[in-house]
Structure 1
Amino acid sequence: MELRQIKYFIAVAEELHFGRAAERCHIAQPPLSQQIKKLEEEVGVKLLERTSRKVALTPEGNEFLRRCRDIMDRIDEAVHCIQDMSKGLEGQLHVGFIGPAALSKLPQTIRAFREANPNIRLEFSAKSTTEQLPMLRADRLDIAFVRLFGHDTSGLNTMVFLREPYVLAIPEGHHFTDRKRVDITDLKGEPLIFNQRIAQPALYRSLIGSFHKAGFMPNIVQEVNTEQSTVALVATGLGCALVPASSAGDKRSGVTFKPLDGDLPQWEITALWKQKNETALLRKFLKVVAEYREVLDGTPEWAL
């Protein structure tokens, strides 16, 4: 069965006249009649009652007409859908992000995009950087917000979404409370809470190296797997912690944040995507991402 046969049948069924249907389909009447006959042979059911005076639909023909119209409606819908997709007006995006990105301007970015594009469906995956990279390469994500440090990004486009310094999270009543700033050398002997080595081995080594340059080994009393867990443990009084400045947006009771001086790496969140997957829709999303990206040289006032 061919699509043109369905179109021919709908024309005959609606006109109930082969001559008018042929004019409507811009073909001669004999080939139209042959196509309808071939269609009936293919489905094995009589669809039309023909006499020298009139053409009428059989009950089966009536039902077939209803379903053929549905087929044509679906085809029209598919055409309109892909046309809208090509213009970035419709479709869906799969967005991956690391947990700390929730404390950045990513939520505002997504809200702004959704308000401007209500017909776009967004699906989210909260995963680690290590988990997101293979998902992105396998086309299971359209864009990933990750924390890079020594990762392989060959073949991927990148945009730094957030760059900010580390700050020091201290528990309530700590002896650093009255200080305006803290230097890394002041942390000698201080109990510290660190992110787990396994999560970001290269970054972990870099942070340890910063303490080595300051002339001592950090006194790590606990390792955790998220920044949120780190701040929560600081609130218990277990120790201090190096956290990204945006973590100060977590106004948790019992925790204060201080600017931290020293030879420390910057904390970054980077957007990654495949060049070949850069559709009109993804480009619209990237435009909003670029509007909300934040690259800071120092600790923002709102974080303190």
Structure 2
Amino acid sequence: MDIPSGLPDLRVLRQFVAVAESGSFRRAADMLHMSQPPLSVAMHKLEAQLDVRLFERSPVGISLTEAGAVLLKEATLLLAQARRSVELTQATARGELGEVRVAFITSAMVSFLPEVLGRFSEEYPDVRLRLVEGVSVDVAGLVSSGRADVGLLSPPVELAAGVDGETVLVDRLCAVLPDDHPLASRRSIPLSALARERFVSYSADRVPAFHQRIVGACIEAGFQPNIVQEAAHIYTIMALVAGRLGVALIPGSAAASGHRGVVRVPIAGNSRLLETRIDVVHPRSGASAAVANFLSHCRRSSGVSLL
């Protein structure tokens, strides 16, 4: 945008407003913490620059001309906008304004993420949070393509070059059973106790890492799981279990959120195939201050282990 030459600067406009509002060069000079002669010179120069008379001068004081009254109104608005521009710029640099686009998997929302969102929104109420739910491969794709600033997913998932990940929650798979299942009252069970059960599993197409982990853990326990239904989302899996279509293995943090008609039973043993985690992923560089603040909140809430 072309800026016309010969415009008065903000300092001179501030001086003009002080003179106009006080009706006195002396009082205005006191308000501005300057001597009166330089202020009078500045106002004469402003009139010459604009080629208009701004003040009516008389022995009893000064008053504004019609042109001066217009300038007072416009200069007041301009100075207020200048102050607002500075405040918004500084707030944006501090991460107090802007937008953070967060992609997440369901298990993050039922475990780690709500606390982060709540605390972040309390500290930065003027930052807009845009939330998108998906499976881990979707989340990775959104971050890799720049359509999300931050992602919460369950690895392993292939990340694009320039995208980093760090663990914020360590979890463990547990059994989810219909509430009238013979094993529902047990404090824990070996995975082998489910060898004859029908399984509701994560989708091999949409959530391949979890699907493979569950199959691998069952094989390690001595049996091939009889998978009769697959679903991409935890709540769908729990609903199918509640409908007595089978049993399932899901992260303990998600199971702890509860679902009518199902119970959560820990799996005994120390198989590493039962361990899961949630990572926060983000571009290595170029994050806005608001995104950096959100990542800081994620890190502060990390270290939670449900093992």
TM-score category of the 2 structures, normalised to the smaller one? 0.7 to 0.9
Q: Does the alignment pair 1:175 with 2:182?
A: yes
Q: Does the alignment pair 1:36 with 2:50?
A: yes
Q: Which residue of 2 aligns with 1:227?
A: 234
Q: Which residue of 2 aligns with 1:264?
A: 273
Structure 2 CA distance for aligned equivalents of residues 191 and 216 of structure 1:
12
- Scaled by the length of structure 1, the TM-score of the pair is 0.76
Q: Which residue of 2 aligns with 1:186?
A: 193
Task: Work out the percentage of aligned pairs sharing the same amino acid.
Answer: 20
Q: Does the alignment pair 1:5 with 2:8?
A: yes
Q: Does the alignment pair 1:288 with 2:297?
A: yes
Q: Which residue of 2 aligns with 1:102?
A: 109
**Structure 1 residue ranges without an equivalent (≥5):** 38-46, 299-304
Once the two structures are superposed, residues 165-222 of structure 1 have per-residue CA deviations (whole angstroms, 9 ceiling, x without a partner) of: 1000010221323443333333333111112223222332333333344444321111
| Alpha-carbon contact 2:143-2:149 (below 8 Å) kept | yes
Q: Which residue of 2 aligns with 1:126?
A: 132
The 5-angstrom pairing of residues 134-145 of structure 1 reads 134-137=141-144, 139-145=146-152
Q: Which residue of 1 aligns with 2:225?
A: 218
Q: Which amino acid aligns with 1:81?
A: L
- Scaled by the length of structure 2, the TM-score of the pair is 0.75
Q: Which amino acid aligns with 2:198?
A: P
Q: Which residue of 1 aligns with 2:285?
A: 276
Q: Which residue of 2 aligns with 1:23?
A: 38
Structure 2 CA distance for aligned equivalents of residues 197 and 249 of structure 1:
24
**Secondary structure of the corresponding residue to residue 5 of structure 1:** coil
**Secondary structure of the corresponding residue to residue 214 of structure 2:** helix
Shift of residue 239, structure 1, vs aligned partner:
0.8
Shift of residue 149, structure 1, vs aligned partner:
1.8
Partner residue of 1:76 out of 77, 83, 95: 83
Shift of residue 75, structure 1, vs aligned partner:
1.9
**Structure 2 residue ranges without an equivalent (≥5):** 30-35
Q: Which amino acid aligns with 2:130?
A: F
Shift of residue 244, structure 1, vs aligned partner:
0.4
Alignment CA distance shift 1:70-1:104 (3 Å): same
Structure 1 CA distance for aligned equivalents of residues 236 and 164 of structure 2:
31
Q: Which amino acid aligns with 1:175?
A: P
Q: Which amino acid aligns with 1:102?
A: M
**Secondary structure of the corresponding residue to residue 192 of structure 1:** strand
Question: How many residue pairs end up in the alignment?
Answer: 285
| Alpha-carbon contact 2:137-2:157 (below 8 Å) kept | no
Q: Which residue of 2 aligns with 1:160?
A: 167
Structure 2 CA distance for aligned equivalents of residues 137 and 72 of structure 1:
42
Structure 2 CA distance for aligned equivalents of residues 182 and 13 of structure 1:
79
Q: Which residue of 1 aligns with 2:256?
A: 249
Q: Which residue of 1 aligns with 2:32?
A: none
Supply the RMSD in Å over aligned alpha carbons: 3.6
Structure 1 CA distance for aligned equivalents of residues 212 and 282 of structure 2:
27
| Alpha-carbon contact 2:155-2:209 (below 8 Å) kept | no
